[in-house]
């Protein structure tokens, strides 16, 4: 296995509080603190002058569509998009076809991952059989098959009793429960945020309250059962408030925000562009600001993309009929930097923390650090490089991104997984 000597990078590792221009040494797939003179001679030298070197990014929320929806994305294409975006570990959602509600399907996914993936792809399993919200899935078997969490993402468990039992049961296996917080009875036919914009556009609105109710429910059930519930893609300002208060009481909940919810609002829907249609929907400026404040004070723990590929012909429809979701992996870093670093003046190590150490910690993954002995998962990026994002030329099989054709600042140059270069010079290797 190659050894690498990365020189002159601004090395940022939130886990070890490192932020200085310096060097990184990779040997046998791991970070080491120093090389001998002989090792230095042998090592491949990478001049990273002007680049940031940080732990490979971690995304706990992606949809790779395999098995069953491989016209949208596959583990091969999705993991390449991840590598190009600087991600080295991703967690994929179980709403495949069939859904991942049994050990056999998880095994199938893991086989594909071993064969096709260029980054670490970790599966989740369903909370309920068929993601139908009626009966618990075999959560123990799912755990044994290797899931890192359970979730009915996209189909929030509506029964409070079933959710309570899922919490109690999953806790036995130390499995976090990820929940897409949505009260279905309040969102029938809804395609966007309920408010001034939905009123103007004549589109059916999904009110903040439909998220807030389930966020509150989950805080209560987490407190009641002691289970770790992770609240996915928070979009409502009231939810941020509920989470903040629950955390202050010591409730074991965590939360994520997506780059799109911190960057965009429902004003973007003025032309019914389906590339701004996702679930939960883009909300108002007040909500956007509250989510950013939540990230700032730790109420919201991490950034996650909800990378949700759909083909052009699926998105090219009347707004009501287009599927929810947008790509995220290849734009997450520059979009997050644009908002949190440049607009909101977060410190760079803190922004990186939201995408590395913290998501690793949230799921107990041995990743997200450059510390000695850790797997050499690394992202080298140019903080200030402007580039035009062409979604059609990207690595994902789909191109449904609201950032297609826009200029982004901050570009991933090289991605290492386990000490191997998987992405460099714009190419997957």
Partner 1 sequence: MPWTRRHLLTIEELSLAEIGQIHATATAFKKILSRSVKKVPALRGKTIVNLFLEPSTRTRMAFDMAAKRLSADVISLDGASSSTTKGETLRDTAENIRALGADMIILRHAAAGSPLYLSKFLDIPVINAGDGAHEHPTQGLLDTFTMLEHLGSLKGRKVVILGDILFSRVARSNIHALTKLGAAVTLVGPSTLVPHWFTDLGVKVSHDLRSALADAEVVMLLRIQHERQSSGHFPSLGEYTSMFGLNKTRASWLNPKAIIMHPGPINRGVEIDSELADGDRSVILEQVTNGIAVRMAVLYLCSGGQPESVMPATA
Known catalytic residues are: 306
3-state SS class at 320 = helix
Nearer CB in complex with partner 1: 202/250? 202
317 binds partner 1 (CB under 8 A): yes
Cα–Cα distance list, 320 to 193, 314, 326, 401 (Å): 13, 12, 16, 18
Give CA–CA dist 380/352, Å, rounded: 12
Q: Name the minimum Å distance from CB 198 to partner 1.
A: 8
Q: Name the minimum Å distance from CB 318 to partner 1.
A: 4
Determine how many CB atoms are found less than 10 A away from the CB of residue 96. 23
**Contact status, residue 118 vs residue 75, Cβ threshold 8 Å:** no
Q: Where are the alpha helices (DSSP H) in 10-91?
A: 37-42, 75-84
Q: Name the minimum Å distance from CB 194 to partner 1.
A: 8
Site for partner 1 in 167-206 (CB under 8 A): 188, 195-196, 198-204
Instruction: Single out the residue of 111, 267, 286, 320 in contact with partner 1 (rule: CB under 8 A).
Output: 320
3-state SS class at 386 = strand
Give CA–CA dist 393/287, Å, rounded: 33
Q: Name the minimum Å distance from CB 201 to partner 1.
A: 6
Helix (H) or strand (E) holding 165: helix 160-172
Instruction: Single out the residue of 29, 319, 324, 350 in contact with partner 1 (rule: CB under 8 A).
Output: 319
Q: Name the minimum Å distance from CB 283 to partner 1.
A: 14
Q: Which residue in 4, 11, 2 sits closest to 379, CA to CA?
A: 11
Nearer CB in complex with partner 1: 282/412? 282
CB neighbour list of residue 429: distance below 8 Å, 6 or more residues apart? 421, 422, 423
Contact pattern from residue 343 through residue 382 relative to partner 1, giving x for each residue in contact according to CB under 8 A and a dash for the rest:
----------------------------------------
Contact pattern from residue 264 through residue 283 relative to partner 1, giving x for each residue in contact according to CB under 8 A and a dash for the rest:
-------xx-----------
Q: Name the minimum Å distance from CB 197 to partner 1.
A: 9
How many alpha carbons fall within 13 Å on the CB side of residue 49? 1
Give me the helix-helix angle, 160-172 and 208-225, nearest 10°.
Answer: 40
Nearer CB in complex with partner 1: 320/386? 320
Give CA–CA dist 35/26, Å, rounded: 9
Cα–Cα distance list, 192 to 6, 114, 130, 188, 200 (Å): 46, 38, 26, 11, 12
Helix (H) or strand (E) holding 209: helix 208-225
Nearer CB in complex with partner 1: 182/274? 274
Determine how many CB atoms are found less than 10 A away from the CB of residue 347. 12
Q: Name the minimum Å distance from CB 115 to partner 1.
A: 34
Nearer CB in complex with partner 1: 262/278? 278
Nearer CB in complex with partner 1: 201/220? 201
CB neighbour list of residue 403: distance below 8 Å, 6 or more residues apart? 331, 335, 389, 391
At residue 208, φ and ψ (nearest 5 deg) are: -50, -40
Nearer CB in complex with partner 1: 12/391? 391
Give CA–CA dist 332/85, Å, rounded: 7
Nearer CB in complex with partner 1: 274/331? 274
Beta bridge partner(s), residue 408: 387
Nearer CB in complex with partner 1: 174/267? 267
Q: Name the minimum Å distance from CB 93 to partner 1.
A: 27
Site for partner 1 in 203-222 (CB under 8 A): 203-204
Q: Name the minimum Å distance from CB 269 to partner 1.
A: 9
Give CA–CA dist 99/206, Å, rounded: 25
Cα–Cα distance list, 215 to 18, 143, 327 (Å): 35, 25, 25
- Number of residues located near partner 1, criterion CB under 8 A: 19
Contact pattern from residue 285 through residue 314 relative to partner 1, giving x for each residue in contact according to CB under 8 A and a dash for the rest:
----------------------------x-
Residues that bind partner 1 (CB under 8 A): 188, 195-196, 198-204, 271-272, 313, 316-321
């Amino acid at each position: 296995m190659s050894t690498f000597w990365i020189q002159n990078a601004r090395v940022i590792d939130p886990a070890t509080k490192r932020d200085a221009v310096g060097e990184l040494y990779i040997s046998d797939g791991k970070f080491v603190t120093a090389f001998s003179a002989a090792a230095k001679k042998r090592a491949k030298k990478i001049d990273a002058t002007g680049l940031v070197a940080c732990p490979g990014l971690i995304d706990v929320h992606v949809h790779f569509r395999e098995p069953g929806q491989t016209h949208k994305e596959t583990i091969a294409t999705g993991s390449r998009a991840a590598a190009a975006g600087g991600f080295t570990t991703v967690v994929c959602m179980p709403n495949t076809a069939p859904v991942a509600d049994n050990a056999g399907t998880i095994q199938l996914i893991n086989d594909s991952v071993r064969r096709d993936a260029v980054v670490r792809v970790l599966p989740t399993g369903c909370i309920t059989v068929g993601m139908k919200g009626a009966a618990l899935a075999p959560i123990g078997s799912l755990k044994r098959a290797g899931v890192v969490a359970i979730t009915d993402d996209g189909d929030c468990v509506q029964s409070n009793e079933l959710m309570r039992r899922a919490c109690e049961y999953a806790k036995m296996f130390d499995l976090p429960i990820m929940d897409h917080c949505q009260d279905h009875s309040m969102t029938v036919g809804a395609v966007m945020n309920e408010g001034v914009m939905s009123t103007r556009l004549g589109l059916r609105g999904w009110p903040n309250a439909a998220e807030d109710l389930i966020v509150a429910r989950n805080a209560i059930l987490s407190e009641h059962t002691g289970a770790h519930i992770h609240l996915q893609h928070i979009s409502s300002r009231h939810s941020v408030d509920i989470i903040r208060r629950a955390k202050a009481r010591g409730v074991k909940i965590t939360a994520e925000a997506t780059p799109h919810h911190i960057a965009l609002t429902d004003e973007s829907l003025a032309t019914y562009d389906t590339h701004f249609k996702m679930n939960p929907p883009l909300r108002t400026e007040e909500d956007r600001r509250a989510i950013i404040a939540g990230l700032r004070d730790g109420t919201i723990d991490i950034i996650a993309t909800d990378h949700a590929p759909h083909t052009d012909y699926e998105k090219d429809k009347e707004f009501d009929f287009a599927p929810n979701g947008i790509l995220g992996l290849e734009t997450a870093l520059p979009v997050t930097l644009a908002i949190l670093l440049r607009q909101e003046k977060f410190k760079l190590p803190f922004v990186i923390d939201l995408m590395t150490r913290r998501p690793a910690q949230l799921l107990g993954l041995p990743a997200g650090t450059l510390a000695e002995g850790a797997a050499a998962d690394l992202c080298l990026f140019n903080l200030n490089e402007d580039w035009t994002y062409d979604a059609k030329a990207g690595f994902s099989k789909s191109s449904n991104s609201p950032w297609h054709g826009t200029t982004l600042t901050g570009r991933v140059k090289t991605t290492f997984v386990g000490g191997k270069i998987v992405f460099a010079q714009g190419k997957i290797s």
